[in-house]
Structure 1
Amino acid sequence: MLADLPPLPIHVDPLPYESRLESRPLSQVDLVIIHCTEVPDLAMARSYGEKVLYASSGTGNSGHFYIDRDGSLHQYVALERVANHTRGYNPRSIGIELVNTGRYPDWYAVAHQAMDEPYTAAQIDTLVALLSWLATEHPALRYVTGHEDLDTALVEASDDASRQVRRKRDPGPLFPWDYVLRRVPLQRLPPPSP
């Protein structure tokens, strides 16, 4: 179904358990959630995605699309499948992961909460093209948001049990929200009520 692919090169490489992910009608998908991988490279992100974490379903955590620093676009899960990327929002959303070190390797250390790797121009250009294509192809799609906007849970810091840190901070403070939102036909999802 090449006609359904975005107008940019895409590397389709389904995760080994993709067929075990729940199927869904695309008419229920109204949200895109932006993530960063918080690992050094695409190969490690793929390795994490292939890990089976849920014995009952034989699946793991993953996004639908991954965008590497060079702007290359990779699809690991078909849009008709529910990827496991954001608790409570998976059935209605598409997960897009941007390769970025984030807080790696000390995700929950108090002293390592800065997310100081900028996203590349190539990544953001690919993201804008992908979001624009998705909005055109899937009329129910209306919103975009960050993982950090939806998962605001705190966890015990790995280096100081008396402190807590955010469980998720992606895509983080260096993600160019204004730039992206001016270029795509989606609106930012209002934050959930407390």
Structure 2
Amino acid sequence: MIFTETPLAGAYVVDIDKKADNRGFFARTFCANEFSELGMKPEVAQINLCYNGTQGTVRGMHYQVPPASETKLVRCTRGAIYDVIVDLRPDSPTYLQHFGVELTADNYRALYVPELFAHGYQTLTPEAEIVYVVSEFYTPGCERGLRYNDPKLNIQWPLPASLISDKDNSWDLLADA
């Protein structure tokens, strides 16, 4: 695997290192040892699959707080998404800054999301599927969110939002929190 740290410390873009031959290729997409060496949390509590039928769908910006803080490894396995993270670590020099990257079924890229980072994405194609490898069990009482269009975050989504859940559209704005 090829790890590229983002401008938000502890968050990585993870590319595969293809070993190709006349059959196709082989690549490792996860290795607990390699993740640990970089200070990443390699525990796996759940693996989730998300399907989105409509281009422009926005999901997020979700995170969990202690005692159920979670890391995520996010990969698009069908179609394409624009994946975004926001640093919510109060003592971080990049607090409330965000980073976005395109994940596609064709580029095999993943994004490692550290604890206390909000995460969300927008589908760039119809029929997009996303796989999340998550370090903690979903804990509704610890779930939090940010509004995807919060002016304080100023996230530039590639497309107008075509679908968003009522819950995701109702998170408080940072200015009101």
Task: State TM-score, norm by structure 2.
Answer: 0.33
Task: State TM-score, norm by structure 1.
Answer: 0.31
More strand by share: 2
Task: Name the structure, 1 or 2, with higher relative contact order (CA <8 Å, separation 6+).
Answer: 2
